[in-house]
Amino acid sequence: MKIASRKKAYLVLQDGLILQGISIGKSGTRGGEICFNTGMTGYQEIYTDPSYFGQIIVSTAAHIGNYGAMSTEQESSGAKISGLVVNEFSQVYSRETADESLQNYLERNEIVGIADIDTRKLVRHIRSKGAMNAIISSELEPDALKTELNKIPSMEGSELSSVVSTKEPYFVGESKNSFRIAALDLGIKKSILTNLVERGCLVQVFPAKTSFTDMEKWDPDGYFISNGPGDPAAMEYAVETVKEVLNKNIPLFGICLGHQILARACGISTYKMHHGHRGLNHPVKNLNTGRSEITSQNHGFCVNGDETSKNKNLKITHVNLNDKTIEGFEVLNKKAFSVQYHPEASPGPHDSRYLFDNFIEMVKKSKKINV
């Protein structure tokens, strides 16, 4: 469906590519790192994932907006993306249970977007040239946008977790639940907390820069290090916290950014990927079982594979079957493991939710030892 009565808009990329389309969402100008997600569904969950903070998302699915938006499909308090690029945008929706159109949702969340873009062509361009900054505007002409684009900071070196993290600790789950889990919120998703609560956990969620000393006062049975946005190399505060958890040898589970932070705590470097992994169909092999999983992923940084394979204190447990990057490892002689992808998979397949079960089993065994 063509969008009626909308302004023209421009998308300008850092390498000089200029595309013209139609404004969607809020009229205005917004910039960030441009990247693409290959998910066919789950657009609202993607847009509300705090890991996408500071990024313009290119939706590769041909039709966006056709099932509307619902309050129950939020992964955080609201949309976290910087901007949105789509091909066909629908202002009408078919799902009777939807609360509103995606257009209304984007306007309420002040998200600037552009439609009527050849997203296949754009994705091929990003795959070839790599992730880069871009800017969307329904206000300015391309020449003026090039000047504004130069003001946008690089994702490399950016510390963003403390921006999206909770400002105060809070609880999720029942006080009667069996396990007390301290979650370091680097940009946590609601579905992660749901998976922990469903497995008998009372979770206290702490702000990103909370010290280990302050979390330890609650006497948790285990620690969870969440996903989130930005460059792990700019997060020494989180690395130091994880080092202290490792020294105490308390069960620890990290995902996505938490995986990268655990790696850095073990002396492994991280690097900026060419264009990252973002989608719902990335194949990963579990080296412990020999089985493959279809996974949901969202990351633009990665753990150094050579350093990980040579580190005698680490065991690689999962690898990406597309490019052989490290997708998971465990710390030998410690109660700690992590994966690069999202086992809660909202949106995405549920092949990897067993990892939450593995974490709970680790916590159970640890409690028995400590009694």
* Residues labelled catalytic: 256, 342, 344
Strands 29-37 and 132-137: antiparallel
CB 8 within 8 A of CB 23: yes
Among 9, 189, 149, which residue's Cα sits nearest to residue 85?
A: 9
Neighbouring CB atoms inside 10 A of 308's CB total 18
**Positive or negative: CA dihedral 112, 118, 122, 124:** positive
d(CA 271, CA 213) in angstroms, rounded, equals 29
d(CA 174, CA 279) in angstroms, rounded, equals 33
**Positive or negative: CA dihedral 160, 161, 164, 168:** negative
Among 336, 324, 163, 202, which residue's Cα sits nearest to residue 262?
A: 336
All residues at 6 or more sequence positions from 277 whose CB lies less than 8 Å from its CB, including other chains: 297, 298, 299, 320, 325, 340, 341
Which residues, in sequence order, are bridge partners of residue 114?
23, 85
